[in-house]
Chain A
Amino acid sequence: MTAPTLEVRDLQTHFFTRAGVVKAVDGVSFSVGRGKVMGLVGESGSGKSVTGFSIIGLVDPPGRIAGGSILFQGRDLAKLSEEEMRDLRGNRIAMIFQDPMMTLNPVLRIDTQMIETVQAHKKVSHEEARQRARDTLGMVGIPSPDERLKAYPHQFSGGMRQRVAIAIALLHEPQLIVADEPTTALDVTIQGQILAEVQKLCATTGTSMIWITHDLSVVAGLADDIAVMYAGRIVEKGAVGEVLDKPLHPYTHGLIGSVPSRNKRGEALRQIPGMTPSLLNLPQGCAFRARCPRASEACLAEPIMAEIVPGRDVRCIHPHLEAPEAA
């Protein structure tokens, strides 16, 4: 087996606020192999975006990486200087954001925004950079890219803007793309088209991807592996088919629905009763305890991540190991 493109080990990203230390990411570990897509799911506020920004080195103050390592092609990103990180950003590692209406600068033309990205990492002429921009726009399915280069963001629809953002991410053929809910703001048809194209591009270029989303149908169709986050930690991870078919953690179980079945795939995450606990003062023991139907006295001790079944890591004292209830 070759080394994974990205290996995150015990990542801790904390926000040092006046009210106290917010442990938005607290001991997250996972790895993404070459050309693989990892789906990162979880409720709002569970720390998915902060994980993504930690990898690309753009955690906003008062936050910073307080511990752990982020090995990208053998280099620890957490230890790189800002200069070295800037070299990688947009070049070897790219990011796509959630809201395509907000990611492009409204007062700059598309060509400006693309050419500056090319020239930030490659010493090429303006004309060469422009050609690269045009070719990439064509690649993500934007018709008549030559003309569209001269347009401003507001002249594009949401779906087209997201394609432009994806094109910008692809300009330097990165080894890793962090996609933070890139299709959530788009309607379903457009979402489908974009997913299909992203998948094709990843397969042909060998780009690895972290795909952050709320939408299980997207993960089911796109990802190889899945990691489920809760309150700053990964509570379950494994191959996507297995986790969706037979969730072991009560939280994952709740997200997918109580009866696991193939039909449940392709549905959005369920609402689980109760609230995400405040990250400022997490309850003692398992963070999910207050909402967990299987909680017991034993859960007052903090569960650890363990490979209970081969290839299945779970952080739970009473995982769903028994045979699925009558389906």
Chain B
Amino acid sequence: MTVYLVRRILQALLVVLAMSLIVFIGVYAIGDPVEILISPDADQIERERAVQALGLDLPLWQQYAVFLTKALQGDLGRSFVYNEPALKLILQRMPATMELAFGATILALIIGLPLGLYAGLRPDGRFSRMIMAGSILGFSLPTFWVGLMLIMVFAVYLGWLPSTGRGETGTLLGMQWSFLTWDGLRHMAMPAINLSLFKISLVIRLTRAGVRETMLMDYVKFARAKGLSPARVTFVHVFKNILIPVVTVVGLELGSTIAFSVVTESVFAWPGMGKLIIDSINVLDRPVIVAYLMLIVLMFIAINLIVDLTYSMLDPRVRLESKGT
């Protein structure tokens, strides 16, 4: 098990290194921040001084070397705009995005699992057909449009829920969280639903497909032949098996949810990482962009690792194999 972990972590480091290079070159190719950062009235000398101060006069490979050395010391550069460490800026916004993504994932499981289970057990029922039709909508309606509709209905028309910001926050582990206060939760409701729509559909479809497939397995028939109650067959024998693919996919989706919460955060003016990165791209705040992308890469790797570990906990067959290596 430890050998397995060490190997996975070494692999992860290589991926991070490769990604840092790609990200760095990519961002360099986007455009020259000097045009945006320095006022057009500045004279040649002022300009050169600024360029030098930012280290933008060095050739690309030297800039990369400087970046890498500093990155290894935990310094991902300072934002050109805010003149603060890029990492700090991002980490400040991280709880907002995290709670949104986790909220959306939990919603997706709470709503998606029962609906998918029902649709899988009664594939021909009218309610099942409605669920499946709904899941197609969830897949195909654009997030920003649904977000705007939610605001129209629940904020503007009915006036039930606030439409912008995080509301009141509480402190936990030195970070600010909206889910700790009632007002914060009310602020979170719409963006979380908006972000979870796609995932609910995904969970419904996965669960339904899993149930239908599992119900045909011999071991389910054998469980019934043992005289077990339908509830026991469904919730122990079938459910435990479909949890494996659902946990895997939902876990892996968590990364994309965090990365793509950009749209939802913009629509609801949710002050998370997504909003920060959009603003930073607009002004070509290179260090922030690079730091954000690096962080996302790290997060994807960490999530993959956690999913693999959870997966092996759920599936005894995998558990044994990883012990052997």
A binds B: yes
Binding site for B on A (CB under 8 A): 56, 58, 86-91, 94-95, 97, 99, 102-109, 116-117, 120-121, 152, 154-155, 165, 168
Check B226 for interface membership: any CB of A closer than 8 A: yes
**Complex Cα distance A121/B320, Å?**
33
Q: Contact partner of A155 among B221, B315, B320, CB < 8 A?
A: B320
Q: List 28 A-B contacts (CB under 8 A).
A: A58-B224, A87-B227, A88-B227, A89-B227, A90-B226, A90-B227, A91-B227, A94-B226, A95-B225, A97-B221, A97-B225, A102-B217, A102-B218, A103-B219, A103-B222, A104-B222, A105-B240, A106-B315, A106-B317, A107-B240, A107-B241, A109-B316, A116-B228, A116-B232, A117-B228, A120-B227, A152-B320, A154-B316
Check B278 for interface membership: any CB of A closer than 8 A: no
A106 and B244 alpha carbons, distance in the complex (Å): 12
Contact with A along B206-233 (1 / 0, CB 8 A): 0000000000011101111111110010
A107–B247 Cα distance when bound, in Å, is 15
Number of inter-chain CB pairs below 8 Å:
76
Q: Are A99 and B218 in contact (CB under 8 A)?
A: yes
A152 to B218, CA, bound (A): 17
Contacts A97-B221, A106-B219, A107-B314; is A86 near B240 (CB within 8 Å)? no
CB-CB < 8 A to A105: which residues of B? 219, 223, 237, 240-241
Q: Which A residues are in CB contact (< 8 Å) with B232? A: 116, 120
A142 to B42, CA, bound (A): 88
A50 to B223, alpha carbons, bound, how many Å? 18
CA A107 to CA B217, docked complex, whole Å: 13
Interface centre among B217, B221, B227, B316 (most CB of A within 10 A): B227
Nearest neighbor of A86 in chain B, beta-carbon distance: B227
Q: Is B236 an interface residue, CB under 8 A from the partner?
A: yes
Consensus secondary structure, chain B interface? helix
Seed contacts A116-B232, A165-B222; 10 additional CB < 8 Å A-B pairs: A89-B227, A95-B222, A97-B225, A102-B218, A105-B223, A105-B241, A107-B240, A107-B314, A109-B316, A152-B317
Does A94 contact B225, Cβ atoms closer than 8 Å? yes
A104 to B241, CA, bound (A): 12
* B 304-325 to A, binary, CB cutoff 8 A, 1 in contact else 0: 0000000000111100100000
Residue of B nearest to A92 (CB): B227
Q: Which residues of B contact A108 (CB under 8 A)?
A: 236-237, 240
Q: How far is the CB of A221 from chain B (nearest CB, A)?
A: 26
Q: Quick one: given A152-B316, A152-B317, A154-B316, are A103 and B226 in contact (CB under 8 Å)? A: no
- B227-269 with Cβ < 8 A to chain A: 227-229, 232, 236-237, 240-241, 244
B contact residues around A94 at 8 Å (CB): 225-226
- What's the Cα separation between A89 and B228 when bound, in Å? 8
Q: What class of interface size applies to chain B in its complex with A? A: 20 to 34
A102 B219 Cβ-Cβ under 8 A? yes
A3 to B314 alpha-carbon distance, docked (Å): 49
Nearest neighbor of A82 in chain B, beta-carbon distance: B230
How far does the alpha carbon of A88 sit from the alpha carbon of B224 in the complex, in Å? 11
Q: Which residues of B contact A168 (CB under 8 A)?
A: 226
Which partner residue on chain A sits nearest B232 by CB separation?
A116
Least CB distance, A194 to chain B, in whole angstroms: 17
Contact check, B221 vs A58: say whether CB atoms are below 8 A apart.
Answer: yes
Shortest distance from the beta carbon of A254 to any chain B beta carbon, whole Å: 31
CB-CB < 8 A to A97: which residues of B? 218, 221-222, 225
Which chain B residue has the least Cβ–Cβ distance from A152? B316
Q: Which residues of A contact B217 (CB under 8 A)?
A: 102
Report A55 CB to chain B, min CB distance, Å.
Answer: 11
Whether B226 and A104, one on each chain, are in contact in the complex, defined by CB atoms closer than 8 angstroms, is no
A88 to B240, CA, bound (A): 26
Contact B244–A121 (Cβ < 8 Å):
no
> What 8 pairs between A and B have smallest CB-CB spacing?
A90-B227, A90-B226, A102-B218, A89-B227, A152-B316, A95-B225, A105-B219, A103-B222
A116 to B241, CA, bound (A): 17
Q: Which A residues are in CB contact (< 8 Å) with B218? A: 97, 99, 102-103
B228:A120 contact, CB within 8 angstroms:
yes
Task: Give chain B residues whose Cβ lies under 8 Å from the Cβ of A91.
Answer: 227
Which of A88, A90, A165, A168 has the most C-beta atoms of chain B within 10 angstroms of its own C-beta? Answer: A90
B129-142 Cβ-contact flags toward A at 8 Å (1 or 0): 00000000000000
Task: Tell me, in angstroms, the Cα distance from A58 to B216 when the chains sit together.
Answer: 12
> Are the C-beta atoms of A89 and B226 separated by less than 8 Å?
yes
Q: In the complex, what distance in Å separates the CA atom of A90 from the CA atom of B221? A: 12
* Chain A residues, Cβ within 8 Å of B223: 105
A82 to B244: give the CA distance in the assembly, Å: 31
Instruction: Give the interface centre of B223, B229, B237 by most chain A CB atoms within 10 Å.
Output: B223
Given the complex, which residues of A lie within 8 Å of B224, measured CB to CB? 58, 89
Min Cβ gap A118→B in Å is 10
A105 and chain B: residue at smallest CB distance:
B219
* Residues of chain B within 8 A of A90, CB atoms compared: 225-228
User: Which of B226, B229, B316 is the one whose CB lies under 8 Å from A106?
Assistant: B316
Give the residue among A58, A108, A155 with the most B Cβ atoms within 10 A. Answer: A108
Q: A97-B218, A102-B219, A105-B237 are in contact. Are A154 and B317 (CB under 8 A)?
A: yes
Q: Which residues of A contact B244 (CB under 8 A)?
A: 107
Q: Nearest-CB distance from A154 to chain B (Å)? A: 5
For B228, the chain A residues whose CB sits under 8 A away are: 90, 116-117, 120
A165 to B253 CA separation, bound complex (whole angstroms): 39
Q: Which residues of A contact B229 (CB under 8 A)?
A: 86, 120
| Residues on B with beta carbons closer than 8 Å to the beta carbon of A88 | 227
Contacts of B241 in A (CB 8 A): 105-107
Q: Which B residues lie within 8 Å of A155 (CB)?
A: 320
Q: How far is the CB of A202 from chain B (nearest CB, A)?
A: 18
Q: How far is the CA of A89 from the CA of B226 in the complex (A)?
A: 6
Distance in angstroms from B320 CB to nearest chain A CB is: 7
Cα–Cα, bound, A285→B244 (Å): 52
Provide the residues of chain A in CB contact with B314, threshold 8 Å: 107
Question: Once the chains are docked, how many angstroms separate the CA of A109 from the CA of B237?
Answer: 11
Contact B219 A117 (CB under 8 A): no
